[in-house]
Amino acid sequence: MFSKKTNELIPEAAKPVKEALVKQFGNPFALTQFEGLPTNFGDIEGTVKTVEPSGADQPLIRFQVTGLSDAYDKLQGLPLEWTSGKGQGHFSRIKEYNFETGMIAVEKSEEIDPQPGDTFLVECVRLQFGRDLYNRHCMHCHGMSGEGTGPTSRYLNPPPRDFRLGIYKYTSTKSTSKAQEADLERTVKEGIAGTYMPSFKLLTEDEVSAIVNYVIWLSIRGETEKKLDDELFLDYSQEVYDERTSEEGGETREEVLEELKEFMELDFPDTLEFATESVSEAWEEANEEAALVIPKTPRVPDTLESRERGRILYLSQKTKCASCHGPQGRGNGTATQDFWTNPATNEKYKNRGLHDIWGNQLPPRDLHRGIYRGGRRPIDTYRRLAAGIKGTPMPAFGGSLSDEELWDLVNYVMSLPYDGNR
Amino acid sequence: MGKGWCLFFLFWPIAAVVSCAMAPWIGWSFPYDNAQAASNLGIRIDGLFYLILVITAIVFVGTQAAIVYALWRGANNREERADCVHGNHKLELVWSIIPGIILLFLAIYQMNIWADFRIKKYYPEVAVKDPIAEVTARQFEWRFRYPAIGKKLQQKPQPDDLHSVNELHVPFGKPVMIQLRSDDVQHSFFLPALRIKQDALPGLQIPVWFEANKPGTYDLVCAELCGWGHYKMKAHVIVQPEDEYQNYLKTLTEQQFYDGLGKIAATENDSESEATEK
């Protein structure tokens, strides 16, 4: 549910973070609508038709509704906002829902008193649809909250993606942008060749977009959590707290908690707002045309000359392709033998070779395999070169190379699997 | 209780015959269209199945009838004593030779179908001459490699090959052959509607031919427990008229050599043309 980092905060600091997340995102069993996210929550309107009389000792109140017959049929756990009648503006949680009879049960409370004719909104219907599909098809690898540690994940290499950093490798966008929805949809439909991500082509378009909608929502949740953690971590992680309250630190527990309380009252709400806002904005911007990597010139004809120019570029100091991918493109460059420093912790990695931001060892691609994870169209390879591969040491060459040079490289790289010296 | 046992043993053959007779109407029979296979070869294979079903049904009903008769006679007539028999040479011969003949008949009778289904020499020539695609099973999806339009499928991948995943298109009206491979473990190429099943083995390339007798979309599933995602390994085989098939190959070619300029509706994100929604 919550990240490792959240759980490393002292309990007093972790509590508000968890509370804020639950308030804004709910949990996978009780989704919550949070205005301002670029997520399609999918509200539907309904009207109360009849109310079942219920005894005073009954905790639930049941009523039959109209207007939900075309909607998704599993609405359990979703928030229901009353838009007219006594409970206007109040929320209930749907405890039971029977699609066949149109019967909804919610908890009784002082504020609400459903009467025939009252209208309401059921929120997050689309998100719930995506969640159910995600749980069926994706959860066993990618985990309940998209942390990439589902029960199947321990058997997989490369490991399933952790969605919570909001970083996806195979996109059509610039190196600083998030993934487009269409990119993730393509990944779901086509699968990722050479990994355990299978193709889900037999799902309908609607199902795929609902899954992607949910996955992006999980990403936003994870990124928000990370931003809040980063804000608190330097002062209030368990480790820092122990240091501060030790002999050398010289602070008392009360002093630290007082400072934390002050921070929570004054700065935390803004931090929270800023965190979700910036994340949402980034996701929205990714779907705009400006974020796309679009070549200025069409593909340079795939001739021997072009490939040769590409090969010279490949081996040049300008690109240093060979330092990772090896002089012959076998994925065995010298960089794979070095010990690298983890930029996040400034410590050396335990293993030789390159690593990605998720901390996994990452061999550079063997370019002779003819397996293209992000798609095998020339434009896909072009985008890998121009925008790099996010979250990995593969850099973006869009700035330093001209379009023609990039296309030459594409032609060279795409000819490697067929060069006969397999 | 003696008569109770009579009823018990009488019940099973009746239940078996009734349920087999009703099977096509209550969905217990073969998949697709009233249990009718979607390929001519499949119909012949079904014929074999029904033949075996009829033979076993006759034997089953006969032996059960004998049991019921013996029990009933014993339960009804307490005076009659059972004979103690120490083997009977004639009987032994009869019930060895008759099943032997039946088995031999089945073995010879099915040879033609088996040869048509499995022995490359007897495959339809049209199909063998021009394999339509290479099917690679991998954990947990089906990847397809077609030759470029107007070319023949080569053993090794070519730069202009067309690739797709989990969706195999084949032309209608002629037998087609695919080359089956596996990337990792044993899989099995199973087209239930066409009654085609062939294991895919790592390191082997196995030719499989099939011909659907009507256009449509057929399920392709894996029939070999290949790992945790075995149940996910589902694809569609789309049998379509020749012109539609050629169109599909054209679209696939366009998509695959797309260089990011110009518009191909099917490949690029809607957002490319309608991105600036605000």
What pLDDT, in 10s, does the model give residues B236-251? 999 999 999 999 999 9
pLDDT number for residue B263: 55
10 Å Cβ neighbour count for A247? 5
What percent of chain B shows pLDDT beyond 70?
93
In angstroms, what separates the C-alpha of B189 from chain A's closest C-alpha? Answer: 17
Helices (H), A202-297: 205-236, 238-244, 253-266, 268-286
pLDDT number for residue B273: 38
Amino acid at A400: S
pLDDT number for residue B81: 81
In angstroms, what separates the C-alpha of B165 from chain A's closest C-alpha? Answer: 7
pLDDT number for residue A259: 87
pLDDT number for residue B12: 94
Tell me the C-alpha to C-alpha distance, in Å, between residue A6 and each of A11, A12, A18, A24.
9, 11, 8, 16
Cα A196 to Cα A141: distance, rounded to the nearest angstrom: 9
Per CATH, the number for B127-257 is 2.60.40.420
Contacts of A289 in chain B (CB under 8 A): 271-272, 275-276
Q: Are A172 and A180 in contact (CB under 8 A)?
A: yes
pLDDT number for residue A394: 94
Taking an 8 Å cut-off on Cβ atoms, the answer to whether A418 and B158 are in contact is: yes
pLDDT number for residue B276: 31
Q: Are A323 and A419 in contact (CB under 8 A)?
A: no
Taking an 8 Å cut-off on Cβ atoms, the answer to whether A182 and B276 are in contact is: no
pLDDT at B277 over 60: no
pLDDT in tens, chain A (422 residues): 788 888 888 888 888 889 888 888 888 888 888 888 888 898 899 999 998 887 778 888 899 999 888 889 999 999 999 998 888 888 899 999 999 999 999 988 888 888 898 999 999 999 999 999 999 999 999 999 999 999 999 989 899 999 999 999 999 999 999 999 999 999 999 999 989 999 999 999 999 999 999 999 999 999 999 999 988 888 888 888 888 888 777 788 888 888 888 888 888 888 888 888 999 999 999 988 889 998 989 999 999 999 999 999 999 999 999 999 999 999 999 999 888 888 878 888 888 889 999 888 899 999 999 899 999 999 999 999 999 999 999 999 988 999 999 999 999 999 999 876 44
pLDDT number for residue A180: 93
Taking an 8 Å cut-off on Cβ atoms, the answer to whether B260 and A418 are in contact is: no
Spell out a b/e string for A39-53, using b for 16 or more CB atoms within 10 Å of the CB, else e: bbbbbbebebeeeee
Taking an 8 Å cut-off on Cβ atoms, the answer to whether B157 and A298 are in contact is: no
Cα A115 to Cα A48: distance, rounded to the nearest angstrom: 7
Taking an 8 Å cut-off on Cβ atoms, the answer to whether A202 and B269 are in contact is: no
Contacts of B228 in chain A (CB under 8 A): 140, 152, 155
Residues on chain A bordering chain B, Cβ-to-Cβ distance under 8 angstroms: 137, 140, 152, 155, 172, 180-183, 190-191, 193, 196, 198-199, 201-202, 287-290, 292-295, 298-299, 370, 376-379, 382-383, 407, 414-415, 417-418, 422
Taking an 8 Å cut-off on Cβ atoms, the answer to whether A379 and B233 are in contact is: no
Residue of B nearest to A422 (CA): B156
Stretch (H or E) spanning B171: strand B167-171
Nearest CB among A137, A289, A295 relative to B260 is that of A295
Tell me the C-alpha to C-alpha distance, in Å, between residue B249 and each of A244, B147, B241, B244.
68, 10, 13, 9
Contacts of B134 in chain A (CB under 8 A): none
pLDDT at B34 over 70: no
Tokens 């007897």: give the residue: B122
β-strand pairing of A119-122 with A44-51: antiparallel
Taking an 8 Å cut-off on Cβ atoms, the answer to whether A202 and B234 are in contact is: yes
How many cross-chain Cβ pairs, A to B, lie less than 8 Å apart? 92
Chosen for mutation from A201, A281, A283 (greatest number of chain B CBs closer than 10 Å) is: A201
pLDDT number for residue B103: 95
Query: Domains of chain B: which residue ranges?
Result: 3-76+90-120, 127-257
pLDDT at B272 over 60: no
Cα A223 to Cα A165: distance, rounded to the nearest angstrom: 6
Residues on chain B bordering chain A, Cβ-to-Cβ distance under 8 angstroms: 139-141, 143, 156-159, 163, 165-167, 228-229, 232-236, 255-261, 267-272, 275-276
Residue of A nearest to B162 (CA): A376
Taking an 8 Å cut-off on Cβ atoms, the answer to whether B259 and A288 are in contact is: no
Cα A28 to Cα A8: distance, rounded to the nearest angstrom: 22
Contacts of A138 in chain B (CB under 8 A): none
Contacts of A191 in chain B (CB under 8 A): 141, 165-166
Peptide bond into B9 cis (omega under 30): no
